[in-house]
Amino acid sequence: MSLRKLDVVVVGAGFSGLYLLHKLRSSGFTVGVFEKGDQLGGTWHWNRYPGARCDIPSLQYSYQFDEELQQEWKWSEKYSAQPEILDYLNHVADRFDLRKDIEFNTEVISATFDEKKSLWLIQTSNEKIEAKFCVMATGCLSAPNTPDFKGLSDFQGQLLHTGKWPQNPIDFTDETVAIIGTGSSSIQSIPVIAEQAKHLYVFQRTANYSIPSNNGPMDPREEAEVKSRYSAFRKENWENGFGIAGLEIEALASESTEQERFEKFNNHWEKEGLGFLGAYADLMIDKEANEMAASFVRTKVKEIVKDPEVAELLSPKFTIGCKRLCVDTGYFEAFNRDNVTLVDLNSNPIERITEQGLIANKEYLVDSLILATGFDAMTGALTRIDIRGRRGIKLKDQWKDGAKSYLGLGISNFPNLFTVTGPGSPSVLSNMVPSLELHVEWISRCIEWMRDNNKNVIESTKAVEDEWMVLVNEVADQTVYKSCNSWYNGSNIEEKAKDFLPFIGVPPYTEKITEVAEQNYQGFVFDKTN
């Protein structure tokens, strides 16, 4: 049986996959996008849990590659909810006629590099494909983590995971519900579920910082102002360390008076959401300054939550920002409801799941059990595919002691394989859409350059890879990011190597990958032979 042949295989039909398809197809390449879900959207297809919403302002969490698209699309809210983001992506797909090259309900099972042919052999759930290039647009938060709770398979009620929520809405009216975890998805969903459920039990191991989104309808004046200067506005994305326009980080908390700090923190609490960490320039590099911000948030939590014991349990003790800062709508207020109970897993660990609920010191009988237990972040979606490079090396094995890549784009021993927002790039510590656009454009230009310069195979070397990941950690060492366990360093997955993976700082990273491209892809080797 003959194999289908393509220039490029793209895995995943989220923001990255859609833009890759548009960009590469426009450059004359034959492209196939393979998506295991039954529709496009990636993260915004699977994460349909109640209250799911972006924590980046809508006017920035969108494509910038087409000015007409920027001008024509109208967001209804400051922070877009999951359904609206999915509508936006469907609009993009229809506008650029992308669906004809996307295969849904098609899982990529394996990808094997044939060294003799210098081609990738892709095995999907439906067919085999040969392609010169393989681009993994699998997302940083797309591999749900399901802890191995004893007895989980025994549960007879409704079992749900926030990372793979059913498409049909779920009504918790008159139900007793348990949710395990208090990360971002839980913080967003708890206020919504609490309004429906007869009773909601929240099982918490680690309290998390969360800032109110202060969400509301899109301000038409702000929208008009931004759209009148969208190019300049987007440029501001790259002038900020996190790729978010409008964050003016100049003043130092350590040089401000107590009253000045209170006023600025309070202003950011009431207006900025995720931008709270942009109140001062030293919050993420100076532990004392960081503690000033953390203390402010703890005080706010204790002002909101009426029960002092519950408020104390909900007050994080670690460095603010070393775990992903959460943004919420009424999260702490939800614990003032009579039908919401917080269970501390440190003093009452889960012993097992039962047919009717779970035991944590005592048995909790529930109708629905929700796992808000996060993701095998940044690498999980890649290592769950059987990817084999030179000499049959498995990516999973190569990364068992820590994931390494060059610039988050290329991996040694895996020629003609690119990753979008892979380990060693700003990715989750940046505004994801501009970051992935940056990668898509870099990858597309690289493939075009190879075609125009008669290059067949590109590969990063272990030496540049090692050097780059050392720099990633050296930069992180100058901050407070490594001061706690988080999914940034794989600490939420027991068997995973504990390495800090994101590169901190959008401007220097952008400068670096631009320089690499301008120097004919310095650090990469072409047409290597063993």
What kind and span of H or E run contains 416? strand 414-419
* 380 and 468 share one domain: yes
* 392 and 471 share one domain: yes
Report pLDDT digits (tens) over 138-164. Answer: 999 999 999 999 999 999 999 999 999
* pLDDT for residue 248: 58
* 162 and 200 share one domain: yes
Could you give the number of structural domains in the chain? 2
Confidence band (pLDDT; 50, 70, 90) for 23? very high
* 76 and 172 share one domain: no
Sequence length of the chain is: 530
99 vs 42: CA distance, rounded Å: 14
Task: Tell me the DSSP string of 493-530.
Answer: STTS-----SPS-HHHHHHHHHHHHHTTSTTEEES---
Residues 6+ apart with CB under 8 A from 85: 41, 44, 54, 61
What kind and span of H or E run contains 23? helix 15-26
| 3-state SS, residue 314 | coil
* 163 and 271 share one domain: yes
64 vs 305: CA distance, rounded Å: 41
Please compute the mean of the pLDDT values over residues 51-57 and round it to a whole number.
Answer: 94
Report pLDDT digits (tens) over 88-142. Answer: 999 999 999 999 999 999 999 999 999 999 999 999 999 999 999 999 999 999 9
Nearest Cα residue to 317 out of 297, 336, 289: 297
Distances (CA, A) of 342 to 111, 332, 360: 45, 11, 12
CB 302 within 8 A of CB 308: yes
Residue 240, pLDDT above cutoff 80 = no
404 vs 140: CA distance, rounded Å: 15
Task: State the maximum Cα–Cα separation within the chain, in Å, rounded to a whole number.
Answer: 75
Please compute the mean of the pLDDT values over residues 376-402 and round it to a whole number.
Answer: 96
- 37-46, 189-198, 237-246: least confident range: 237-246
Tell me the pTM.
Answer: 0.95
Q: Write down which residue in 339, 371, 403 finishes a domain.
A: 371
Residue 244, pLDDT above cutoff 80 = no
| Centroid of chain to Cα 519 | 30
CATH code (residue 462): 3.50.50.60
* 261 and 185 share one domain: yes
Q: Which amino acid is at 504?
A: I
Confidence band (pLDDT; 50, 70, 90) for 238? confident
* 246 and 324 share one domain: yes
* Residues spanned by the domain of 67: 4-143+376-526
| 3-state SS, residue 310 | helix
- Work out the number of other CB atoms within 10 angstroms of the CB of residue 33: 26
Q: Write down which residue in 337, 371, 405 finishes a domain.
A: 371
Report pLDDT digits (tens) over 270-319. Answer: 988 888 998 999 999 999 999 999 999 999 999 999 999 999 999 999 99
* 456 and 390 share one domain: yes
> 506-518 vs 432-452: helix axis angle to the nearest 10?
10
Task: Tell me the DSSP string of 441-497.
Answer: HHHHHHHHHHHHTT---EEE-HHHHHHHHHHHHHHHHTSSGGGS--GGGTTTSTTS-
Note the helical H segments in 184-314.
184-196, 220-227, 230-239, 258-271, 287-304, 308-313
381 vs 421: CA distance, rounded Å: 12
* 400 and 487 share one domain: yes
Bridge partners, residue 342, by sequence: 202
Choose between 247 and 178: higher pLDDT. Answer: 178
Report pLDDT digits (tens) over 351-368. Answer: 999 999 999 999 999 999
* pLDDT for residue 425: 97
* 238 and 361 share one domain: yes
* 350 and 386 share one domain: no
Q: Write down which residue in 342, 371, 400 finishes a domain.
A: 371
* 17 and 137 share one domain: yes
Q: And the tokens for 107?
A: 């899982």
